[in-house]
Structures are given as structure tokens and as C-alpha cells.
Chains A and B, each alone.
Chain A
């Protein structure tokens, strides 16, 4: 059984704080790692698709890194804003034809 673990489960920060959280995934048969941002009652929104070991991707104040050899990815948010409050999901894809295996997400709350 393939497991994708995300930590922490939830996180409360103040506006302006920088924060990061972790996604751990199997290090074998890696093909891609997806990050999504999800607000409850809305559709998950794609942030990054990462494929290469050592990849770093950035979108505004959000960035992500990837280590496929040890099986983890970090998502960083610089200078958190209340609108960053959401659940951040990562999903592992093993093999080009593999399905996405999701973690349970990290729920971020940013207080003004």
C-alpha cells in the first residue's frame, strides 16, 4: 500500500509569518508530485507539478522543493496572508500511467 503523509495536519500562523509544510511519499517508482490548494466547498486548484529531483518551483509567494531520493517535498509560503488560508494537498504519481495518491492535506489558517 502506497502512503502519502502530510505534516502538520493543521497550522495556525499570524499574517506576515512565513511557513512551510511537508509531504512524504514513496521514493520508489516516482513519476510526479502534485500540489493543490483547496478551499472547502470549492474546487482544488493546481499549484505545481514536480517531476525532477531537486526541482524548485515558485508561484508568487508560494514555492516548493522536491527530493525524490528521500521521498519528500516542502511547500513554503512567504509572508502569509489571510487569503492563503486553505488546505494544501499533495499527491504522488507512481509511474506514467499511475493514479494520483493524495495525502490528507495540511490545513493552514492565517490570522489577520
Chain B
């Protein structure tokens, strides 16, 4: 598609439950990025993919967080055993394969995760 599509728009989970978020990048874009935005704070980089391969995971918490980008499927970000501090808006972005470094990133609308 022509837009980055994130689902669901809003996800509510009880503390300790699992949360799974999805992102379909723009067709033809090879790079996918995940960001976490806690209320009024900056977008924090989590992980990036080049096609189905992890490109950079330096921002991913060591525990509970995992992500995948499999061929012919939306990318996913999964949080196990959620905690209250995981409440945030999670943004996905994609960029084209060529000129990666100087291309803007195209963002989705975000998924608002609320942990109760």
C-alpha cells in the first residue's frame, strides 16, 4: 500500500498479559523501524529491520520485547508479561531501500497500548 498501516489503533491489556502490535510497511520499502513514545516524551528507537533481517536492535529492552518481519506478512512487535510502564504509543515507520540514509521515514498512525 501507499501508507504504513498499523493495527490495532488502540490495545488494552491487563498487567502481565501479552500484547502484539502489527505494521505493514509501504510496498517496496525495505526498511522498517519501531519507536516507543511514552506520554509527552520523545520517540525512542526500539529496533529496525532490513527486509526480514534485524538491522539494529540496540534500542530493544533485553527482556519481554521481541519483533519480527517475515516475508509476505505484516511486521510485528510483541511484549510479553506487560508492565504499566509499557503504556505508550508505538510507531512504525518504513523507508525505501535506495538512499536509505538520506530518506525520510514514513510513519504509521501508531498503536496506543494501555496497560491497566
Instruction: Tell whether, in the assembled complex, residue B109 and residue A31 are in contact, meaning their CB atoms are under 8 Å apart.
Output: no
B59 within 8 A of A: yes
Interchain CB contact (< 8 A) of B104 among A34, A99, A103: A34
Tally the A-B contacts, defined by beta carbons under 8 Å: 55
The answer to whether A43 and B4 have CB atoms under 8 Å apart is: yes
Cβ of B102 to closest chain A Cβ, rounded Å: 6
Contacts of B43 in A (CB 8 A): 89, 91, 100, 102
Residues of B within 8 A of A97 (CB): 56, 101
Check A104 against B56 for contact (C-beta < 8 Å).
Answer: no
Interface residues on A, range: 20 to 34
Q: Are B42 and A100 in contact (CB under 8 A)?
A: no
Q: Is B107 in the interface zone, CB < 8 Å from A?
A: yes
Residue positions of B touching A, CB distance < 8 A: 3-4, 33, 35, 40-45, 48, 56, 58-59, 91, 101-110
Residues of A whose CB lies within 8 Å of any CB of B are: 4, 31-32, 34, 36, 41-46, 49, 51, 89, 91, 93, 96-97, 99-105
For residue B48, give the distance in angstroms from its CB to the closest CB of chain A: 7
Given A41-B109, A99-B56, A99-B59, A105–B42 Cβ distance below 8 Å? Answer: yes
Task: Tell me the complex Cα distance, A93–B48, Å.
Answer: 14
Other CB < 8 Å A-B pairs besides A41-B110, A43-B109, A99-B45, 12 of them? Answer: A4-B42, A31-B101, A34-B105, A36-B107, A43-B3, A91-B43, A97-B56, A99-B33, A99-B56, A100-B43, A101-B45, A102-B43
CB distance A96 to B101 under 8 Å? yes
